[in-house]
Structure 1
Amino acid sequence: MKRDIMLLACALALAVPAWAQGKRLIPSSEQATAGYLSSQLLLKPCADIGALGFADDENAQRSAAAARKALPAGTCANAALVEKLFKARFLLNATPAMINDPWRLDPQIVRQEQAIGRCQDTQCLARELDRTIAVLSPVYLGARQQWPRGKGLCTGEPAETPANKVLALLAPDSSKAITDACAEDEVLATTCRGPHGKWLFVSCAMSGNQVNAQQWLFRASKTPPEPLFATEEGPLAVLETTCNSMPDLMTSARVSVGEHFLSYYRYDGKTYRQVYSYSSEFVGTDANGNDLMIALGGVDSQVVCR
């Protein structure tokens, strides 16, 4: 991998991100040394570009100069302020990756970022960085993230269903979409019952080192089954939160070693819509060996929950 694309990537090659196992700590800047150059400059805009291995890269030099220029004069000359800037920016970008309803936190993130961005001197910057760290530290440290296993759709384990029977039940356009994506002998289907009726899950079988597969969700209590959700970014997880009486969903797609793309969906009364998405990028490990992940993305659309 070209050094101007990645500084370092050393996370496990999993279909979903590795959730923290030990006690989480707020890292120091010295512990966040991995990730894209753009991510390094986001977290550490005062970093020595030469020490990062880009001393002869003109594009990297320009990016570093722009990152420093956006700061109040004198910021990079104050070591304590530089470290405080890292901690605040880390929390702003890492905390959304620690929770399963990042849209709830997004307004707070935006307010803190705007307050920091308005600062014209180091006194204001220090004050707003302190406020950001005070607000987000408890959220980041208190989150206990795990792969969601909400029961809002199924009250029991899904049962396997023959693919040929499923395809025969579906409307022609739905059946065609599935067979266009995966051969009939590669179609996997399960059904379950829950508080909102009978559900049908369909996906393409994965092979080799494949970690993402197309998936569909149908309300099977209707004839033909009603399509509510489709994605190429599996696996699919059901969240504990709800919108319009239906559980929220999320997917996690492996992009590369050390990077995943997470998307969140909420029910708008007719179908599921993507409301929030971000790239989860590995940037190092804390003192307890927990992966440090930052979330780069944000709100995609608004769904009114009644």
Structure 2
Amino acid sequence: MHLTRRHALAAAPLTAAALAGCSRGESASGGSTTMIVPFAPGGGSDQSGRALADGLERATGDTVSVENIQGGSGAIGYSEFLGMHGDGSKLLATETALMALALTQDVRFSYEDFTPIFKAGDDFAILVTRPDADYGTGMDLVDAARERSILVGVSGATSLDEILFSLIEGDQQMEFDRVPYESGGEVLAALLGGHIEAGLLNPSEVLGQLQSGDLKALCALAYERYEADELADIPTGLEQGLDVAFAQFRAVIAPGGIDEEARQRWVEAAREYAGTEEYRTYLADNFLVEAPLYDKELGEYFEQYNEELAEAFT
């Protein structure tokens, strides 16, 4: 199954304190904002949220703090964020779980309950294993899983890696055995510890281990090879016969019900941030494909993404 999402994915650049507290009458500068990350520290979502918070803090002069609210594959963090309705001093670094949770679990929220602010770019995943593994390509791993149990780690039942493994299974008519974790950081630790045989991780999560030789890349589930020199030699799954490519968005949302002034200030702050060198550095450091969207345009993107993701779960 080859899902086309060339528009998608990225992390949450937007926020920070430029708008901190705007809905409460505080000034757009010198305020204090909390960026919620609904996953454990150490994974791609956490790294992205922190990088965006730091960049926006430098760009705006506001204080932007990061708070991890983990559990339930992101459901606990999103649920708490739902309760922050109308609070313009809160933001959340969001990704695929925003839609996937509502599509697969009994949660009280959907993407429509929040205020879309800014989508920074598209984030693809790399299929990795230990360097002494017998297989050297993604198709080798698939073939091995036809013969015996292959344990793979997933960072939640609605995570990008869970979606991608499911798409591979649908494309190749086979199955992996999953071990669930709370974050990409935990998947990485399990790989290094030899507790699982393979995982799908974002480049920013695993680059150090690839460069040190502690892990090796089998393929990238992307439409094209990475342009960055560090990753340019990694073939795509498409090159190896895996007809799967899917991008996770990384974006920033605000609670639902914030006033119009706060919403506009957040969007303006996001546009300003996207024009800075810090934003370019964020994209490069996290190996994201630039794909900025704002405000209502992002809301339309969320609607389309939700429709396509619903098809992936059927």
TM range (shorter): under 0.3
Higher relative contact order (CA 8 A, sep 6+): 2
| Structure with greater helix percent | 2
| Structure with greater strand percent | 1
Q: Which has the larger radius of gyration?
A: 1
TM-score by length of 1: 0.26
TM-score by length of 2: 0.26
